Structure 1
Amino acid sequence: MLLDIKNLHVKYGNVEALHGIDVEVEEGEIVTLLGANGAGKTTTLNAISGLVNVTKGEIVFSGEALHKLPAHKVVTRKITQSPEGRRVFGVLTVQENLNLGAFTSKNKERVAKSLEWIYELFPRLAERRTQLAGTLSGGEQQMLAIGRALMSNPKLLLLDEPSLGLAPVLVNQIFKTVRQINQAGVTVMLVEQNARMALKLAHRGYVMEVGKIVMADSAQALLKNPDVLQAYLGGAE
């Protein structure tokens, strides 16, 4: 088991956002978290990354307990996150943003190989490597956010709403690239508003409602589940 989350509770002040969830991710999988806004999906990713405090429960990654580690320690364990809203550094160039993603790596040869791979995945970024990130289109900024997260050669990539605000043609391109990333050996945990596309890409999925896991199954089974169809996929096709 690459990632094992047990009985995870997270609070914001006096409000509990996660009510004891259990999530498992095997090495090499794409696992998606589905649910409405406020269900706790982003909180789950942020708990894994060490960005929010765990009040109860465990997060174990490659046999090591993560839930007591601060965020700057978690990222050295080969876990990276591409956040909702991209959050690129607009006053820095594409190349500078990518270099920041490799700040934990002291192996210059490994960093150079990562950079080469990212430019292969996203040729648009290679064309714009000296351009300020703030002048990129939304789709290009999303490519940059994912590329930056890949620079440290992660075992687990956390993707939060990669299709948000993008045109359909760009969404298809991003999802195709996520599949390539996974096929290259990176395990992916995906939070995505487009439930149908997420389930077509993923191996397994979890459905969250108000801080709880209410359903867990293979992606194919969830695509055919009448409750999931009705709630998240707009009814039967």
Structure 2
Amino acid sequence: MFLEIKDLHVKYGNVEALHGINLHVNEGEIVSVLGANGAGKSTTLMSISGLVKASGGSIVFDGMELSKMPAHKIVAAGVAQVPEGRRVFGTLTVHENLKLGSFTNRDLAHIKQTEEWIYQLFPVLAQRRSQLAGTLSGGEQQMLAIGRALMAKPRILLLDEPSLGLAPILVKAIFKTLQEINQSGLTVVLVEQNARAALRLAHRGYVLEVGRVVLEDSAENLLANPDVQNAYLGGGGH
């Protein structure tokens, strides 16, 4: 098992956000995590990344227990997260933002090669490499946030709401690139409000409700599931 979460509990103060969730991700998969606001989707990603500490349970990535590791070591182990809201460094250029993503990598040739790959994936970033990130459009900032995560040469990429606030045409472009990234061999875990787009991209999915996994199935079956359609897809699939 590439990533396995077992009986994961997370608390914020006295409030338990995750009530013993179980999920797994196979190498090479795109797995989508669906649920309403407050279901625990972002908390799940942040606990994998080490940004939120588990109060119980285990998170094992390729044989390594992540739940007790500091966040920077988790990045070095091959896990990178694209946070909700993009969080690029607005006063730094595109190039400088990308360089910051490579802080775990000391191989300069490798860094250069990865940066060129990112510019191929997102040609608009190549055109704007000297531009301050804060002056980019929302879609360009999302591309930069994904690019910055890829600079760490992760083996698994965690994405939190990549379509948030973006026009449909940009969402389509970004999801197409995520498919390319996955086809290059990278495993992806996707938290996404746009459930239909997420399930069309994913191999499998999980549905969270109030900190619990209530459904797990293939993406195809979840798209066809009447309960999922009514709750997350605006009813009867269009």
After TM superposition, the structure 1 = structure 2 runs for residues 83-94 of structure 1, keeping only pairs within 5 Å, are: 83-94=83-94
3-state DSSP of counterpart to 2:146: helix
What is the rounded CA distance, in whole Å, between the counterparts of 2:143 and 2:58 in structure 1? Answer: 32
Aligned to 2:120: 120
Q: Confirm or deny that 1:142 pairs with 2:135.
A: no
Partner of 1:204: 204
Cα distance in 2 for partners of 1:103, 1:93 equals 16
For the residues of structure 2 that align with 1:6 and 1:75, how far apart are their CA atoms?
21
Aligned to 1:38: 38
> Could you list the runs of 5+ residues in structure 2 that have no partner in the other structure?
none
SS at match of 1:54: coil
The residue type equivalent to 1:223 in the other structure is L
1:129 CA displacement: 0.2
| 1:51 is the counterpart of 2:51 | yes
Amino acid at match of 2:91: V
Letter in 2 for 1:174: I
Partner SS, residue 142 of structure 2: helix
Check if 1:27 corresponds to 2:47.
no
SS of aligned partner of 1:72: helix
Residue identity in the other structure for 2:206? Y
- Aligned-partner SS, 1:87: coil
**In structure 2, distance between residues paired with 1:235 and 1:118:** 37
Counterparts of 2:16 and 2:232 in 1: how far apart (Å)? 24
Structure 1 segments unaligned to the other structure (5+ residues): none
Q: Shift of the alpha carbon at 1:37?
A: 0.4
Q: Distance in 1 between matches of 2:108 and 2:62?
A: 25
Aligned with 2:55: secondary structure? Answer: strand
- Residue equivalent to 2:131: 131
Task: Give, as a single letter, the amino acid of the residue that structure 1 aligns with 2:86.
Answer: R
Letter in 2 for 1:83: P
CA drift at 1:72: 1.2
Q: Find out whether 1:102 has 2:102 as its counterpart.
A: yes
Instruction: Show the counterpart of 1:5.
Output: 5
> Following the alignment from structure 2 to structure 1, what is the Cα–Cα distance between the partners of residues 52 and 234?
33
Q: Aligned residue for 2:155? A: 155
Q: Indicate the residue corresponding to 2:180 in structure 1.
A: 180
Deviations 1:44-89 (A, max 9, x none): 0000000011100000000110000011111110100000000000
Aligned residue identity for 1:57 = G
Displacement after TM superposition at 1:148 (Å) = 0.2
> Deviation string for 1:95-122 (max 9, x for gaps)?
0000000010011111111101000000
Matched residue, 1:72: 72
Q: What do the CA deviations read for 1:8-53 (whole angstroms, capped 9, x no partner)? A: 0000000000000001000000000000000000000000000011
Superposed CA RMSD in Å reads 0.4
Q: CA deviation at 1:234?
A: 0.6
5 Å-filtered alignment, 1:187-198, equals 187-198=187-198
Distance 2:89 2:104 in 1: 18
- Residue 60 of structure 1 aligns with an amino acid whose one-letter code is V
SS at match of 1:141: helix
Render the CA deviation track for 1:112-169: whole Å, top value 9, x for unaligned. Answer: 1110100000000000000000000000000000000000111000000000000010
Structure 1 CA distance, aligned partners of 2:2 and 2:169? 33
TM-score (norm 1): 0.99
Residues in 1 aligned to 2:220 and 2:113: alpha-carbon distance in whole angstroms: 35
- What is the distance in 2 between the residues matched to 1:195 and 1:205? 10
